[in-house]
Amino acid sequence: MEIVYHSHHATISDRLRARAERGVRRLAPRVDAVDATIRFEEDGPSRVVELVMHLGGRRRLVAKASGRFWGPAIAAAVHQLEQQVTHVRRTRKEQGRDGRAERRAHGA
C-alpha cells in the first residue's frame, strides 16, 4: 500500500509521520485499502490532520480532526477512521439486526 504525505504550511517530525502511518497501516488490511493520503495543515494555533484511505471500487474513507497540538489531532483522526472501518466491515445481516434493535428500543 502506498502512502502519500502532504504538508501545508507545517513542519512535521518523522515521529509524527510514523505515528499517523502506523494508524493507517494498522487499519488498511481490515478493508483491503489500495492507498492512503495523509495531510497535515497548520494555520496559526490550529493543527489539522486529514486521513484519506482509498478502497477498491472508488470508495474512500475520510477522517479529519483538528486540535491545538499534533498528537491529539492524529489520535482523533485515526479514531474516526477506525470507526468508519468498523462500519464498512459490517454485513447486511448485521446492519439489519442493529436497525431492528434500535426500532424496538424506540417503540416503533
Q: Burial letters for 39-74: b for 16+ Cβ neighbours within 10 Å, e otherwise?
A: bbbeeeeebbbbbbbbbeeeeebebbbebeebeebb
- Asked if residue 38 has pLDDT above 70, the reply is yes
- Asked if residue 28 has pLDDT above 90, the reply is yes
Distance CA 40, CA 51 (A): 9
Mean pLDDT value across residues 94-102: 65
- Asked if residue 45 has pLDDT above 60, the reply is yes
Where residue 33 sits, what CATH number does that domain have? Answer: 3.30.160.100
Residues 51-81 pLDDT 10s? 999 998 888 999 999 999 999 999 999 999 9
Mean pLDDT value across residues 29-44: 94
pTM to 2 decimal places: 0.81
Domain extent at residue 42: 2-106
**How many domains, the chain?**
1
